[in-house]
Chain A
Amino acid sequence: MSEALATVETPDFEQGEIMEVSMGPHHPSTHGVFRMDVRLEGERLVRLKPVFGYLHRNHEKIAENGAYLSAIPYTDRLDYLCSMTNNWGYTLAVEKLAGIAVPERAEYIRVIVAELTRFQNHAGLVGFLMQDMGASGTPLMYAFREREKVLDLFESLSGARMMCNYLRFGGVRVDCSAAWLDEVRALVARLPQFVDEFENLLRANEILMARTQGVGVLPRELAVNAGVTGPMLRASGVNYDVRKVDKYGIYDRFSFRVPLGEHGDVYDRYMMRMLEMRETVKILEQALRDIPEGPVMDPKTRLRGLRPKAGEAYGRIESPKGELGFFLISDGSGNPYRYRVRPPSMINLTVLEDMCLGENIADAVIILGSVDIVLGEVDR
């Protein structure tokens, strides 16, 4: 493989030879700067320790040093593929802390942008997973073609493609136009066709099946105990989706199903994303049909100089990667006394070693790819 797989030491053990390999931190399959300290017996993994923190910038301290409002653009940079859902997690926590209500229309816009985010995240993840398996380019380009359209919509709404900085506690920053909603409707009408096309491209592909089925199995009990969330948890057959459990925002108004896996292997985790894309389209259709007119923000909501009463609040949402939570403690001043992010992709890495033990080293790449990590969020 590449130069990044530098051999560190090759100690001889009584039973054959164990080799230590440092995979990463600069390796395309690590989706950023991420390292796996691996011990191999032949091609078989006998130990794997994830090493991260290369992008650590003490995000939490930065947020604690600023006003409540000034943390929102920083949350964009956590999971930099999903800025809209990051904004939502944080604003939800502030709304709980300060008791702020959100107008109806803003709730609908939030659902629309969050589900568009989920769609492009899942499409991109499947594309990258295929890339890790050796399908260079094609599936990823199919996914990115659709992702571009979503990002164009985000750009015309918020002014930025990826760092949207669009949600505010108490609503959203600007209202969307009727023309923008029509553009979204036109895109959403075409999305099922894209999912069909994407699935036809990959379905019954022998390499995909051989490399993913029965690989990297995550048992149900371990998934629950290790706090795994999101599509990865549901691939192991646990029916837990924060949109259904907490019904935050207005998710109780939409009819959609939560896809569940059976085997908890890489194939099921891939399939979860495909199925969730279809459910996301259902939510989008309903939200675009029902969105009412009205304000997107109560003008009396204090954005600048917000000083919540002393206390604390934990707010959580179902981000595309899992349960994204924000824990805030207020001491009555203008900046959070404690600001803590619950990063789903970091906690999902807890079980990486458990999934990889006994598998081939080449499968570690795919298993990591099926976790769906973004290092901006893991390292903070």
Chain B
Amino acid sequence: MALPSPEEIKAQIEAGVPGATVTVIQNGSPSAQHSLLLDHTHARTVAEFLRDHAEWRLDFCSLVTGVDWPDTETSEKVKVRKLVKAADGTESEQAVDEVRKTKVPGYLEAVYHLFSMEKKHGMVVLRMRTADRGQGTHLPSLTPVWRSAEFQEREAFDLYGIVFDGHPDLRRILMWDGFVDYPMRKDYVPPPDDAPIAEVHS
């Protein structure tokens, strides 16, 4: 039996987990693998709902990963009325073009790919987004629901800096303890080759 459409899954989640909000994220590529964006508060309950659903039985969380979406800046031209001094010294109000820049804050994203080993179908893609890329990089851990997320959430913490609340053993996994930066982020700058070892290993 194949899985229903993402819209149908969204409807069933919202009916089964009171208060949960799910957004369907469309995927424009030929693969057409659409995903479901979860809210933090209900993510764990939704995950349990999907795992224990009688027809879907999504018991296998295959892939967990982080994605970095840095801050972006959009600029638009707006007309502003300003007092303009003419050459002869008279001031008059005129419409002037001005470039206004708006900063769109970025975020970190955790993506989970789910399959069912029992029903042999898949997949359902879950996403969660952090508030920003600075202090608010917390997401609920889904390791208590699927053990397979244990090392992969640690990796997303290590390389992206996503803090998974509720993870039983959140430590760096590939980089060494004491390393300070997050090497998979888009704005990561590696230390120069001739940097003193003590600096790199701090």
Contact = CB atoms under 8 A, between A and B. Distances in A.
Contact of B150 (A96, A311, A314, A350): A350
A60 interface: yes
A225 B147 contact: yes
B31 A311 contact: yes
Contact of A314 (B33, B159, B184): B33
A149 interface: no
Interface stretch (B87-95, B173-181, B194-202): B173-181
Contacts of B27: 311-312
B63 interface: yes
A225 B62 contact: no
A224 interface: yes
Given A240-B117, A311-B27, A340-B65, A224 B183 contact: no
A313 interface: yes
A316 B33 CA distance: 13
Interface in A301-348: 308-314, 316, 323, 325, 327, 329-330, 338, 340, 342, 346-347
Nearest to B121: A245
A264 to B, nearest CB: 15
Interface in B18-43: 27-31, 33
A170 B57 CA distance: 34
Nearest to A60: B184
A259 to B, nearest CB: 17
A222 interface: yes
A314 B113 contact: yes
Interface in A220-266: 222, 224-228, 238, 240, 245
Contact of A310 (B29, B33, B117, B151): B29
B184 A226 contact: no
B123 interface: yes
Given A52-B174, A240-B120, A323 B33 contact: no
B35 to A, nearest CB: 8
A340 B184 CA distance: 11
B111 A226 contact: no
A99 B65 contact: no
Contacts of B111: 327
B67 A311 contact: no
A177 interface: no
If over half of A's interface residues share one DSSP class (helix, strand or loop), that class is named, otherwise mixed; here it is: mixed
Interface string A29-62: 0000000000000000000000011001010110
B150 A238 contact: no
A340 B63 contact: yes
Contact of A58 (B113, B117, B120, B184): B184
B162 interface: no
A226 B152 CA distance: 11
Nearest to A51: B173
Nearest to A225: B147
A7 to B, nearest CB: 21
A98 interface: yes
A226 B144 CA distance: 10
Contact of A238 (B29, B62, B117, B175): B117
B67 A53 contact: no
A338 B63 CA distance: 14
A147 B148 CA distance: 32
Contacts of A96: 29-31
Contacts of B28: 309-311
B174 A98 contact: no
Contacts of A240: 60, 117, 120
A266 to B, nearest CB: 21
Contacts of B183: 58, 61
A224 B150 contact: no
A240 B122 CA distance: 13
Contact of A56 (B59, B61, B151, B175): B175
B146 interface: yes
Contact of A226 (B30, B113, B148, B188): B148
Contacts of A227: 60-62, 146-149
Contacts of A60: 159, 184
Contact of A225 (B59, B113, B175, B188): B59
Interface in A104-159: none
A51 to B, nearest CB: 9
Contact of B173 (A53, A225, A316): A53
A97 interface: yes
A316 B31 CA distance: 13
B64 to A, nearest CB: 9
Interface string B157-179: 00100000000000001111000
B29 A349 contact: no
B177 to A, nearest CB: 10
18 contacts: A53-B175, A56-B174, A58-B183, A60-B184, A96-B31, A222-B147, A224-B117, A224-B118, A225-B146, A225-B147, A226-B148, A314-B125, A327-B63, A327-B113, A338-B65, A338-B67, A340-B65, A349-B151
Given A226-B146, A309-B30, A314-B113, 8 more contacts: A58-B159, A96-B31, A98-B29, A99-B30, A227-B149, A314-B123, A325-B63, A349-B151
Interface of A: 52-53, 56, 58, 60-61, 96-99, 222, 224-228, 238, 240, 245, 308-314, 316, 323, 325, 327, 329-330, 338, 340, 342, 346-347, 349-351, 379-380
